[in-house]
Amino acid sequence: MTALEALNLAAPLADTYNAVERKLLVAIARQLTLNDNHELNEVSKWQIKKLTQLGQLDRDAAKIIAAGTKGVPADFAGTVQKAIETTLAEDGLTDMWHNQSFSESAKKAVRHYRAQAKDVYNQVNTVMKYKAHSSYVKAVNSVADKMTAESRIRQAEIADKQSFLDIMNSNAAAAASGSVTRTRAVRDTIHEMAQRGIPAFVDRAGREWSPEAYVNMDVRNTVKNTATEAAFGTMDALGQDVFEVSAHAGARHKCRPWQGKLISKSGRTAEITDLRGRKYKVFPLSATSYGEPDGLFGINCGHRPRGVSDGLFVKSSKTSEEYGKDDEELYNRICRQRELERRVRKTKTEADMLEAAGDTEGAKAVRRRAAEQNKQLRAYCEENGLKYRGGRVKTYGKVTAGLTNGKNGGIIEMTRKKDGAHRRTSSRGLQIIDKPTYNKLTEDFIKHDGIIIRGADAERHLKNNYASYLPSLNTAFIRDDATISEVLEEMYHAKQDRTKMFGEVLTTEVHLRREIDAQKYLLSVTDKFKIPDEEVAVTKANLEYYENELKKLLGGERHET
């Protein structure tokens, strides 16, 4: 199978991840300006507010990835199967492939890589979700940096609690003179994000691979590995020990000496005769670069073995320079086409992101740039005899995933009614936590350097909610009219975070398990803290909700480990 054929095989999977990447980027852009009144000029407050929305972004990312990649393992397995059938057809072995008594050893290769597909792409999905999370944090900080270099609150780096409180309660964080406007800051940050994208894989050297690049590489190598193993399995079934190495133009340094050569798998065959009676020298496999990452049949190698039998084969007469030259030229032209397509998609995605962020003027300017790039793509295809594929530069309209009412932004929303006595009643008709209980519940949190924001600052941050905990800053926001359940739950979430309960990385599964644990904890201390029946009923409803969400997550394709 040629590199061009492998590229075409990988295209549907690459398109799937391109769509997922684009939806994640749009979701992040929307989050940057969602519920933003655009009148706040205190950078630190804006930054804190945006970071509290990380929980919702994580949930949106998980939904986007799960929905967009649901069929990937099956599609990948089908791609591998198709590659095997194509390879065997080239060698005239298709009929034998379907002979069960013959083909079991060769089919082991297919089963192996089909089983591997799910693990590989679950890993890709997990990396993309993590990178969406980190990209959002970077975007928030980037916007804040561009708005003012003097008063940015850096995530997880607040050492002085009092100075933080001073900032939150004063105008010290107002945008510095000469700094760019928020609209411009968001616009510049979105451009950077659209160009950078959401990585799907990080290799040992720390290099980040785009979804398209990684999928193409993985499909190409998996197809090659499967085809090689299937070919070796076929040789074993036919009793063949010798194979001929295919040849193509542009072979790598460690592969080039072995193109067109006859190789013995066992190393025992030294000579072999063709149909015309000509004798050929056979080299042992151990003498080649086989087994080295950049060697024969190694990573990104385009060669494959073709089994031969003594006295029954005709050796290829094509030279390395002649073999596949036209295919290589076409492959290079198509790679350039893909590059131009990526440029158009990135620009269109940037426009979609700007629209999601409410910057219609910026989006119009970027769409004009995308139209010009698309015109250049069409011209390139026409000049090089390639088919223009409009579907590969579409971005398919708006992404609907975003913040929702209810459990928004990782802020636990409570709507509970009053019960019991000895506590004031709020305008909501709920009992407000009394001061002694409040001091008791928050004591441990404060001992662990926790920061509590209350009063008007908390109300502006929380809006329609009454308490929340921000892990990245070890900060809790609590309104003056919060209930005991609301305070108790957020203090428990802080404890969960300190102890890394259920895991150090806040994946969707860890988040759900922490929420379930917190609801169970609230129910266990109902009598101790005299929690009203109405609040208990809501806690039970929340518990049922989170348990159902976890069941749905674990019952389908698991994208986090």
- Average pLDDT over the chain reads 75
Instruction: Give residue 157's pLDDT band: very low, low, confident or very high (50, 70, 90).
Output: very low
Q: Is the pLDDT of residue 507 over 50?
A: yes
324 pLDDT above the threshold of 80: no
**Mean pLDDT value across residues 313-321:** 64
pTM, two decimals, is: 0.52
Amino acid identity for residue 20 in this structure: V
202 Ramachandran zone, left/alpha/beta (phi>0; psi -120 to 50): beta
3-class DSSP state for residue 91? coil
- Confidence tier at 38 by pLDDT (50, 70, 90): very low
Residue 230 near residue 251 (C-beta atoms within 8 A): no
Higher pLDDT pick, 206 / 365: 365
Q: What is the pLDDT of residues 456-471, one digit of tens each?
A: 767 777 777 888 887 7
pLDDT of residue 241: 93
How high is the pLDDT of residue 376? 94
Order of strands, sheet of 467-470, starting from the edge strand that comes earlier in the sequence: 451-453, 475-478, 467-470
Helix (H) or strand (E) holding 460: helix 455-462
Task: Inform me whether the pLDDT recorded for 83 exceeds 80.
Answer: no
Structure confidence at residue 80 (pLDDT): 66
Cα separation, 322 vs 318, in Å, equals 6
Confidence band of 264 (pLDDT split at 50, 70, 90): very high
pLDDT for residue 375: 93
Is the pLDDT at 6 greater than 70, yes or no? no
For position 198, what pLDDT does the model report?
Answer: 85
**Reported confidence tier of residue 533, pLDDT bands at 50, 70, 90:** confident
Q: Give pLDDT, residue 470.
A: 79
Q: How many angstroms separate the CA atoms of 486 and 490, rounded?
A: 6
Sign of CA dihedral 325, 79, 21, 193: negative
More confident of the two residues 179 and 480: 480
Token pair of 525 as six digits:
């201390």
What's the pLDDT tens digit per position in 327-375? 567 778 888 998 999 899 899 989 988 888 888 888 899 999 999 999 9
Which pairs from 454-463 meet CB under 8 Å and 24+ separation? Answer: 454/478, 454/479, 454/480, 455/480, 457/45, 457/168, 457/169, 460/45, 461/45, 461/48, 461/49, 461/52, 462/411, 463/35
- At residue 520, does pLDDT exceed 90? yes
Query: Distance (Å, rounded) from C-alpha 232 to C-alpha 243?
Result: 9
Output the CA–CA distances (angstroms, integers) from residue 546 to 398, 464, 543, in the order listed.
28, 21, 5
- Three-class SS of residue 481? coil
Q: Are 152 and 44 in contact (CB under 8 A)?
A: yes
Average the pLDDT over each of 215-219, 281-285, 361-365 and give the range with the smallest value: 215-219
Mean pLDDT confidence for 297-311: 84
| Among 102-111, 183-192, 324-333, 536-545, the least confident range | 102-111
Higher pLDDT, 203 or 297: 297
- Tell me the average pLDDT across 53-62: 76
Note the pLDDT of residue 325.
54
Lowest mean pLDDT among 22-36, 39-53, 226-240: 39-53
Write out pLDDT tens, residues 86-140.
655 655 555 555 555 445 555 665 666 666 666 677 778 888 887 888 788 777 7
Mean pLDDT to the nearest integer, 402-410: 32
For the chain, give the percent of residues with pLDDT over 90: 16
Task: Calculate mean pLDDT across residues 482-510.
Answer: 88
DSSP string, 229-268: HHHHHHHHHHT--EEEEP--TT--TTTGGGTT-EEESSS-
In this predicted structure, the answer to whether residue 490 has a pLDDT above a threshold of 80 is yes
Q: Is the pLDDT of residue 410 over 70?
A: no
Query: Which range among 309-318, 340-349, 383-392 shows the weakest confidence by mean pLDDT?
Result: 309-318
Q: Indicate the pLDDT class of residue 249, thresholds 50, 70 and 90.
A: low
Tell me the pLDDT band of 155, cut-offs 50, 70 and 90: very low
Share of the chain above pLDDT 70, in %: 70
Q: What are phi and psi of 280, to 5 degrees?
A: -130, 145
DSSP letters, 486-546, are HHHHHHHHHHHHHTTTT-SS--HHHHHHHHHHHHHHHHHTHHHHT--HHHHHHHHHHHHHH
